[in-house]
């Protein structure tokens, strides 16, 4: 009986440890139609203790990437059904999951198009698994740091950001920000005290480049300032630095 009890305890302890590791392991989605490469990626990333799922077509990949179940997506461009850039554009309408494009289209124009489209990094094929592993680790570290900053900001003055709900409150009052306004405030808070250029904010907030006569960002800044003022913030913390961009003065919050 004692032996059976010890075996039961050891077995359950093992399963608990495995479940804990699974909960802590980042979840990666690989969208790649090359079956051989997909298998190599699955094997290599699994060895690095990632949880890995592989999809081989664009439509299924978009559905999986939009599910909110993954910490990072590796995305090929030349996919059947829905190509990678189309998938990325659709994904960025409702998800901020980090995306690393991994494609044979490695020229400068393709890389720029991918990054403007909302990719966090771009790795041209052929590539070494070691380099890809380093790139993945770097993106996941950045995301973890951003989440830590978000948690710190939740108790910063009267302002609270709730990332999951995309909600911002001041002294308990919902500021009723749009998704874009929330992201703008979030980016400014992450870089509080720094001056962020308009091109940088277009990429970070609107996920696109800015045209010469494009005033979209200025309108979002204006709406954010108005809602902060209506929410009770005593003075506008979003400041214009002429000729350079925008900054957030957190002493006013």
Identify the H or E element spanning 82.
none
Residue 234 is predicted with a pLDDT of: 80
Task: Report CA-CA distances (Å) from 224 to 3, 176, 185, 221, 237.
Answer: 66, 10, 8, 5, 10
Sheet holding 121-124, edge to edge: 51-55, 27-31, 72-75, 99-103, 121-124
Please list the ranges in the chain whose pLDDT falls under 70.
Answer: 1-24, 147-157, 252-253
DSSP, collapsed to helix, strand or coil, labels residue 100 as strand
Pair type for strands 159-162 and 51-55: unpaired
What is the model's pLDDT at position 208? 83
| Beta-bridge partner residues of 196 | 246
HSE-CB for 20 with a 13 A CA cutoff:
6
The rounded distance, in Å, linking the Cα atoms of 86 and 118 is: 11
Q: Measured between alpha carbons, how far is 79 from 38 in angstroms, rounded to an integer? A: 13
Give the Cα separation of 117 and 97 in Å (integer): 13
Q: How is the chain split into domains, by residue range?
A: 2-141, 151-252
Model confidence over 16-51: pLDDT tens digits? Answer: 444 444 446 899 999 999 999 999 999 999 999 999
* The CATH number, out of the four listed (2.60.40.420, 3.40.190.10, 2.40.160.20, 3.40.50.2300), of the domain defined by the range 2-141: 3.40.50.2300
Task: Please state the separation of Cα 79 from the chain's center in Å.
Answer: 22
The predicted structure's pLDDT at residue 207: 85
Across the chain, where does the E strand assignment appear?
27-31, 51-55, 72-75, 99-103, 121-124, 159-162, 167-170, 173-174, 238-241, 245-248
Q: Are strands 121-124 and 99-103 parallel, antiparallel or unpaired?
A: parallel
Q: What is the pLDDT of residues 111-125, one digit of tens each?
A: 788 888 888 899 999
151-252 has which CATH code? 1.10.10.10
- Surface-to-core class of residue 88, CB atoms within 10 Å of its CB (0-12 exposed, 13-18 middle, 19+ buried): buried
């Amino acid at each position: 009986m004692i032996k059976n009890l010890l075996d039961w305890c050891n077995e359950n302890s093992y399963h608990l440890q495995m479940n804990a590791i699974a909960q802590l392991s980042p979840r990666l989605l690989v969208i790649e139609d090359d079956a051989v490469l997909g298998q190599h990626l699955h094997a290599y990333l699994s060895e690095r203790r990632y949880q890995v799922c592989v999809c081989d077509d664009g439509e299924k990949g978009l559905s999986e990437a939009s599910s909110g179940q993954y910490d990072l997506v590796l995305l090929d461009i030349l996919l059947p059904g829905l190509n990678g850039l189309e998938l990325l554009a659709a994904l960025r309408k409702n998800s901020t999951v980090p995306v690393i494009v991994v494609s044979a289209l490695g020229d400068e124009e393709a890389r720029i198009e991918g990054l403007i489209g909302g990719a966090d990094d771009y790795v041209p094929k052929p590539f070494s698994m070691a380099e890809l592993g380093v790139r993945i680790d770097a993106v996941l570290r950045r995301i973890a740091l951003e989440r830590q900053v978000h948690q710190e900001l939740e108790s910063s003055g009267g302002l609270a950001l709730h990332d999951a709900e995309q909600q911002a409150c001041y002294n308990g009052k919902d500021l009723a920000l749009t998704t874009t306004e929330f992201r703008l405030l979030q980016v400014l808070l992450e870089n509080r005290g720094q001056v962020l250029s308009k091109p940088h904010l277009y990429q970070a907030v609107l996920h696109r480049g800015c045209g010469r006569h494009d005033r979209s960002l200025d309108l979002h800044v204006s709406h954010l300032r108005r809602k902060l003022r209506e929410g009770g913030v005593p003075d506008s913390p979003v400041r214009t630095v002429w000729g350079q961009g925008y900054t957030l003065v957190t002493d006013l919050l």
